[in-house]
A and B are shown apart, each in its own frame.
Chain A
Amino acid sequence: MTVLTKPWIWSCVAAAVAYALILGLTSGRGAGELAYAALSFGAFAAIVGLGQMLVITLGPGNVDLSVPATMTLAATLALKAMGTDPGTAMLGLVIALFVGFGVGIANYALIYFLRLPPIIATLAASLVYQSLAIWSNRGLRIKPPSGLADFATGRFLGLPNVAWVGLFLAIVVWVVLERSVWGRWLLATGQNMRAARLAGVPVELVRALTYISVAVFSALTGYLLASFSGGAALNMGAEYLLMSIAVVVVGGSSIAGGNSNVPGVWGAALFMFLVVSMLNSYGAGAGVRNVLTGTIIIGIVIAASTRRVRA
């Protein structure tokens, strides 16, 4: 069992290659700044990606498409409650997490009681969340309290604070999946829900907690991103719909469920940011950038799946 057989290594290698290509173009200038930016922006993708990974682990058909709307709603309500007043950062955090908790319960209620496929349930519900966000502050941009903004853009031991948050959460998720009873139950449910149920796993409780987790992770990301970028915007979550799924897949987790991969999510989050930077520094326009990003994701998914078939 060498390190090369671990599926997460590939996203990390890809991130390193993209990093090297950019530095080759700038002949080494700005290496530190580039790494810092990748860790800052990658942290947001990594946190939503960790949540999405838990849901995708539940098995085929399980995915949360309400991630962008949850981020927007949590950020909007939190910033509105804080109203740029100093010393309210904790209040805002609690509100954001509470919104995430409520969204998770609502999503799962739709899936469980109405027996809707998760894709439809979360997509439809996200329209409601987005409308609530619009209705609650009518598009006004409220600045975060300055202390919170300083935290979100600040650094500790040379690394961005948001990256520390992302790393901490990654370790928590890793411990839960690899070492805890609950993680075993989640992985068992994702492989074969009926067999897991007959082995004594409380599968519906596992599913409910997983949908709540992804919503809480999204809400936290929304809160941090709004603080980082100086206020909540209605389209702030838009790019995280594809991003949250892409980092899971590129990171080496199985789309068929029952198998997940925490370090790969971080590697893939850095890679996704660096690809965009690379195309920017090579002077590609927005259209070319999107086409190439899509092509790269498809290529990696194909490469990963053929490798697994041969193994």
Chain B
Amino acid sequence: MTDHKSAPVVTLLDAAKHFGPVRALDGVSLAVKPGDCIGLVGHNGAGKSTLVNLINGGLSPSSGEIRFSDGTAALEAGVRSVFQELSLCPNLTVAENLRISHKALKGPGWRRPARVEILQSLDRIFPAHGIDPNAEVDTLSIAERQMVEIAIGFAPRGTAARLVILDEPTSSLDAGIADQLLAHIKRFCADGGAVVFISHMMGEVFEVANRIIVLKDGRIVAERATADFTRQGLVDAMGHVTAETADAEGIRQDLGPEIVRTDQGLSARKGEIVGLSGLAGHGQAAALARLYLSRSSSWRYGRTPDVAFVAGDRPRDGVLPLWSILRNISISALRQGARRGLVDRHAEADVAAQWKDRIGIRTDDVRNQILSLSGGNQQKVLFARALASPASVVIMDDPMRGVDVGTKQDVYAMIRAEAARGRTFLWYSTETEEVCQCDRVFVFRNHEISAELTGADITEENILAASFELQEAS
């Protein structure tokens, strides 16, 4: 047979996965060899997560075949995955979380080697990370948790990682940390490891991948070396026509009176899009949650809510898991059209159908369960919930995690249109590109506002400078 070193780590032959009538993956053939770094792109619901779950053994194929070079199981073959939905146990320490997937650690005193191994892995990928392996995971920020998860994915764990699948690994990381990860992926592949890298951030895919696979509706529609793709070509292959962003809009001068002001100094005017930026976990999300809670009540309610919230942490802050898409969209707007306290169900259905089309929720019927949707489509439902409510201020806590490029462009346009009609947006994002779409940006550092940028001053350099200044001084 072929040489062990160059034999594919995993080979898929016409693998398909159906969930009832839904063809999540419709016949995919693929070989991942050592040294490969494959960028996997596609829209929400294109089948990326299903493909990952077939490769790592989380699902078994409905038809077709999956072969591993060593042994028959994904785990024996050294296949690891890091998910975008965080999957650490929050009540355990960082080192204890390593043990869950490292069966060789046992006997008295197993925590010591666990601490050493996770610390080595963290140091290798994220130098100067500052994470204590004895810290319990729920004391870490969402970015730190993602770093720990990545470090566990690359840790030797008794054998060696041969193929690491990274599903949206950078969506909650800031630019500096993401660069460290990309550098590590390049080193790992140069040393003969393989990586499958899923991201909606095109720049990262082009930087790190040597081959790009485009998935669309459960099939591979393009597979070429990275050098053969252009950005526009890649977006076209994904099948979504994106209008060039109109950067030269100029600064809008027709803003209304100031309608938001907090003790921290955060302020917004009517019709303004205000961005919150800075390194992840520096108090932006907490500031927004405080603002929302102070402008709404657990006791009183009015016909028209003052503020609406779009959650980034969907399971914790957003999704009502037992309900249909319809009910998830309408919950914030129920008081409109309600007569004598009863829900107007025709109006409710109309609103949901209208938003399904406007924001492109991929479902046959809005009466389907919300959990039948992929992560990105659930996020669209949360957007629809906030935009369907008549609130004049919309607060968004990193709402684009896991949303594909085409939808992002649509949502940007929708936000601009709503702002022009007099709604105010407060928008925290870990992606500088998004923040640069705002009229005004507050940069956070150590739970305080370190800079307020407007107009032409909103640049990546200025934001980064304001994010790091104090850390250098201290």
Nearest Cβ in chain B — how far from A9, in angstroms? 19
Most buried by B among A184, A195, A198: A198
Chain B interface: which of A120-128, A202-210, A230-238, A295-303? A202-210
Contact digits for A199-222, partner B, Cβ 8 Å, 1 yes 0 no? 111111100000000000000000
Task: Check B227 for interface membership: any CB of A closer than 8 A.
Answer: no
| In the complex with contacts A184-B334, A202-B298, A179-B342 CB distance below 8 A | yes
Decide: A181 and B334 in contact? CB cutoff 8 A.
Answer: yes
Q: Give A187 to B309 CA distance when docked, in angstroms.
A: 19
Decide: A195 and B297 in contact? CB cutoff 8 A.
Answer: no
Task: Check B346 for interface membership: any CB of A closer than 8 A.
Answer: no
Cross-interface CB contact of B292 among A180, A191, A198, cutoff 8 Å: A198
Residues of A within 8 A of B338 (CB): 181
Nearest Cβ in chain A — how far from B213, in angstroms? 35
Decide: B322 and A191 in contact? CB cutoff 8 A.
Answer: yes
Smallest CB-CB separation from A258: which chain B residue?
B322
Cross-interface CB contact of A202 among B297, B343, B385, cutoff 8 Å: B297
Residues of A within 8 A of B334 (CB): 181, 184-185
Residues of B within 8 A of A197 (CB): 293, 296, 298
Residues of B within 8 A of A181 (CB): 334-335, 338, 341-343
Q: Give A187 to B319 CA distance when docked, in angstroms.
A: 13
Task: Check A29 for interface membership: any CB of B closer than 8 A.
Answer: no
Most buried by A among B298, B316, B321, B338: B298
Smallest CB-CB separation from B340: which chain A residue?
A180
Decide: A184 and B317 in contact? CB cutoff 8 A.
Answer: no
Cross-interface CB contact of B343 among A184, A195, A200, A203, cutoff 8 Å: A184
Decide: A200 and B320 in contact? CB cutoff 8 A.
Answer: no
Nearest Cβ in chain B — how far from A294, in angstroms? 29
Q: Give A23 to B408 CA distance when docked, in angstroms.
A: 66
Decide: B335 and A204 in contact? CB cutoff 8 A.
Answer: no
Decide: A195 and B335 in contact? CB cutoff 8 A.
Answer: no
Decide: A198 and B301 in contact? CB cutoff 8 A.
Answer: no
Task: Check B199 for interface membership: any CB of A closer than 8 A.
Answer: no
Smallest CB-CB separation from A193: which chain B residue?
B298
Task: Check B401 for interface membership: any CB of A closer than 8 A.
Answer: no
Decide: A179 and B343 in contact? CB cutoff 8 A.
Answer: yes
Number of A-B contacts (CB under 8 A): 84
Decide: B323 and A191 in contact? CB cutoff 8 A.
Answer: yes
Q: Give A157 to B318 CA distance when docked, in angstroms.
A: 49
Task: Check A6 for interface membership: any CB of B closer than 8 A.
Answer: no
Task: Check B238 for interface membership: any CB of A closer than 8 A.
Answer: no
Q: Give A7 to B319 CA distance when docked, in angstroms.
A: 24
Decide: B292 and A195 in contact? CB cutoff 8 A.
Answer: no
Q: Give A204 to B308 CA distance when docked, in angstroms.
A: 18
Contact digits for B123-149, partner A, Cβ 8 Å, 1 yes 0 no? 000000000000000000000000000
Decide: B317 and A194 in contact? CB cutoff 8 A.
Answer: yes
Decide: B343 and A180 in contact? CB cutoff 8 A.
Answer: yes
| In the complex with contacts A181-B338, A184-B331, A195-B298 CB distance below 8 A | no
Q: Give A196 to B331 CA distance when docked, in angstroms.
A: 8
Residues of A within 8 A of B424 (CB): none
Contact digits for A236-258, partner B, Cβ 8 Å, 1 yes 0 no? 00000000000000000010001
Nearest Cβ in chain A — how far from B426, in angstroms? 14
Decide: B320 and A202 in contact? CB cutoff 8 A.
Answer: no
SS of B interface (majority): loop
Residues of B within 8 A of A205 (CB): 298-301
Q: Give A194 to B296 CA distance when docked, in angstroms.
A: 13
Nearest Cβ in chain A — how far from B453, in angstroms? 28
Q: Give A205 to B385 CA distance when docked, in angstroms.
A: 22
| In the complex with contacts A184-B327, A188-B331, A198-B320 CB distance below 8 A | no
| In the complex with contacts A179-B343, A202-B301, A194-B316 CB distance below 8 A | yes
Nearest Cβ in chain B — how far from A43, in angstroms? 27
How extensive is the interface on chain B, given as a class? 35 or more
| In the complex with contacts A179-B342, A181-B338, A188-B331, A198-B298 CB distance below 8 A | no
**305-342 of chain B: CB within 8 A of chain A:** 305, 307-309, 311, 316-323, 327, 331-332, 334-335, 338, 341-342
Decide: B389 and A200 in contact? CB cutoff 8 A.
Answer: yes
Residues of A within 8 A of B323 (CB): 187-188, 191
| In the complex with contacts A203-B298, A205-B298, A191-B389 CB distance below 8 A | no
Decide: A192 and B343 in contact? CB cutoff 8 A.
Answer: no
Nearest Cβ in chain A — how far from B369, in angstroms? 12
Contact digits for A80-101, partner B, Cβ 8 Å, 1 yes 0 no? 0000000000000000000000
Q: Give A196 to B311 CA distance when docked, in angstroms.
A: 11
Task: Check A182 for interface membership: any CB of B closer than 8 A.
Answer: yes
Q: Give A187 to B334 CA distance when docked, in angstroms.
A: 13
Decide: A198 and B343 in contact? CB cutoff 8 A.
Answer: no
Q: Give A168 to B296 CA distance when docked, in angstroms.
A: 36
Nearest Cβ in chain B — how far from A305, in angstroms? 15
Smallest CB-CB separation from A254: which chain B residue?
B322
Residues of B within 8 A of A184 (CB): 327, 331, 334, 343
Cross-interface CB contact of B317 among A191, A198, A259, cutoff 8 Å: A198
Cross-interface CB contact of A195 among B308, B319, B341, cutoff 8 Å: B319
Q: Give A202 to B391 CA distance when docked, in angstroms.
A: 15
Cross-interface CB contact of B298 among A180, A204, A259, cutoff 8 Å: A204
Smallest CB-CB separation from B327: which chain A residue?
A184
Decide: A180 and B316 in contact? CB cutoff 8 A.
Answer: no
Q: Give A22 to B331 CA distance when docked, in angstroms.
A: 47
Contact digits for B380-395, partner A, Cβ 8 Å, 1 yes 0 no? 0000010001010000
Q: Give A204 to B293 CA distance when docked, in angstroms.
A: 13
Decide: B308 and A200 in contact? CB cutoff 8 A.
Answer: yes
Smallest CB-CB separation from B318: which chain A residue?
A195
Q: Give A191 to B328 CA distance when docked, in angstroms.
A: 11
Decide: A196 and B342 in contact? CB cutoff 8 A.
Answer: no
Smallest CB-CB separation from A204: which chain B residue?
B298
Nearest Cβ in chain B — how far from A264, in angstroms? 16
Smallest CB-CB separation from A205: which chain B residue?
B299
Decide: B309 and A198 in contact? CB cutoff 8 A.
Answer: yes
| In the complex with contacts A194-B316, A205-B301, A258-B322, A200-B342 CB distance below 8 A | no
| In the complex with contacts A200-B389, A202-B301, A182-B320 CB distance below 8 A | no
Smallest CB-CB separation from B296: which chain A residue?
A200
Decide: B316 and A195 in contact? CB cutoff 8 A.
Answer: yes
Residues of B within 8 A of A179 (CB): 342-343, 345
Residues of B within 8 A of A194 (CB): 316-317
The 7 closest A-B pairs by CB, nearest first: A204-B298, A198-B309, A191-B320, A181-B334, A202-B301, A200-B305, A200-B332
23 residue pairs bridging A and B, Cβ less than 8 Å apart:
A181-B338, A181-B341, A182-B341, A188-B320, A191-B321, A191-B322, A192-B320, A194-B316, A194-B317, A195-B311, A195-B317, A198-B292, A198-B309, A198-B317, A199-B331, A200-B308, A200-B331, A200-B389, A202-B299, A205-B298, A205-B301, A254-B322, A258-B320
**18 extra interface residue pairs, beta carbon distance < 8 Å, beyond A181-B338, A181-B343, A185-B334:** A179-B343, A180-B342, A180-B343, A181-B334, A181-B341, A188-B320, A191-B321, A191-B322, A192-B320, A194-B317, A198-B289, A198-B309, A200-B301, A200-B331, A202-B298, A204-B298, A205-B298, A205-B300
